[in-house]
Structure 1
Amino acid sequence: MKSGDPNFRGVWRGQSSHYTTEKKGRTKDELLRLYGAEDVDEPSLLPSAARTDLYFPDSFGVWSALLDLYVHERIREPGTQRELLNFVNSYRYRMWGFATAQHYGLPSVGLDVTDDIDVALFFALHTFKTSAKGVTTATRATSIAAPIIYGLGGFERHELFDDEKLAPARILCTRPAAQSAMFFSTGWGYAPNNAAQRIYVALKLVGHETWKFDSQLSHYFPKPQDDEFLRFLLERKSELKLPVMQDLLSKIYYVP
C-alpha cells in the first residue's frame, strides 16, 4: 500500500472469522461518513482489553514491575548498561511494555498485526485454544469456517510500532520476530474500534480447506527453550505466588 506520507504503512491481520459491531453503535450519518454506506455491518477490531471489559491500567503496574525486573537482570551483563538504562528512561520503554503485553497474551489496548501476509494467513486458517495453564493448541479451520484477512493502514511511531524499532537488540523478543508482528495501538479511551476505520481491503478465503499450509505452530510461537522472554515469564509464574502476579501471568499463553 502506497501513501504520500513515508510513515504510513500497510499491514495485515488474519482472523478465523469476520466479526461486526452492534448496529446501534453508529448512526446512519456516521456509517455513511466512515464507510460510504448506511447499511454496512461495521467490522469489529476491538483490542483484547475492550473485548473482555478489562481496565488495562489495573494490570499494567504489575506488568511494568516484571519488565523492570527482566531488563535490570540484563543491565548487569557487561556492555549493556548504558543502552538499557537509557531505554528504561525513554518513552519507547512504556510503549514496548504495551507491545510485549499484547504479543504474549495479556489483554491490551491494541492489536497484533503483521507485514507478512503468510503470517496473517496462518492466523486466519487456524483457531486457537488455550488451557487454564496457558498451553496453546491450534486447529486447522474447517470447511464451514469463514476466515478473513484484513489489510489495514497505520502511521509508524504514532500508532504502529515495530518491536525491532522499540527496544535495544539485547531484549528484542522472539515471538514478535517469528510473527513479523507489530503493535497497532488503536484501542484507546472512548474509541476502541478505531482499527476498523483503517481497513482498506478484506480478503475472504474461499476454498481454504483444500490449501496446503506446512508451517507449524511452534514456528510462530517459539517454545520456552527458544524464547528468553517467555522463559523468564514462566519462571516468575512458578516463583512468585502473589495472587495479583499469578492472575496476570496466568494469561500468558505459549506452546510447550
Structure 2
Amino acid sequence: MRLSITTELDYAFQAPTDVILQIEAAAIPEQQIEHAHIDLPDVEHFARLPGHDTIGERICFQTQGSLKVRYEATVDIRRLDAEIETLAAVPPHDLPAEAVEYLFPSRYCPADEFMALVEAEFGDTVGGARIAAMRDWIADSIEYRSGSSNAGTDAMEIFVSRCGVCRDFAHLLVTLARASAIPARFASVYAPNVKPQDFHAVAEVFLDGAWYVVDATGMASAQDMAKIGVGRDAADVSFLTSYGPAEMRAQKISVSAL
C-alpha cells in the first residue's frame, strides 16, 4: 500500500530550548520513501541522529519563539506479514542481542509486575497464539477513549482504569508480551484509518526470528502503516521532546491511502 502523509506542527518556546523531533517516516527495507520533504524555520545547532535501533532519524536543534514544521511524504509499504497465531516464540537463550533489551521492564511497561497475571490469564497459550490472545483480550477489555490518559500514564494504570488511547494499548501489549519472555517494543507509525487522525502507536513482537507489528486497537494493519521509529516505550519515540516549556498552538496529521 502507498500512503500520502502530511504533518503540521505549530509550537511556541519562550526561551532558547533544545528540541528533539522524530516525525519522518523511516527509510528502511520494509517501506520505500518515494518522496519526502520537511520545512523547518531557522534553528540553532541543527543535527540529524539515528533513531533507536537505527530505525528512523531524530532531528535535534535549539529554537526560541514560534516553531512551525511541515512534513510531507509518500511511502510505499512492503512489510513482512503473517498470521500471528502461527508464529513460534524464540527462547531467550536463542535471541539475537538486539532483541534482548526488549525483555526488560521500562518506564511505561512494568513487565515484572504482570508475570503472575499472564500465567493465570494466558498460561494455556504459547508464542504467537499467546500474543493473539493478549491482543484480543486488550481489545475486549480496554475502552478506547480520547483524553482518558496523559503523558505519564503507564500500562499498570491502564490495566486498572480499563480505558486509554493507542499508546496505552501498545504499552499494555508490550508489557504483557515481555512478562511472557517474548521481546516486544513500541512503534510510532502513521496509518490512514486512525480516528481521530494523529500519530499512531502499535506494538512489535519478536517471533520466529523477525519483528511483527500488532495493533491492539484494530485501527491499522501491517500493510497500511508507515513506521516512524521504535523504542522500549513511548519515551524513546516521542514525536517532540523539549528540554524546556513548550506551548502547542496547533497540530494536524493527515494520512491517506493512494
TM over 0.5, shorter chain: no
The structure whose residues are more often helix, as a share, is 1
Q: Which has the larger radius of gyration?
A: 1
Q: TM-score, normalised on structure 1?
A: 0.28
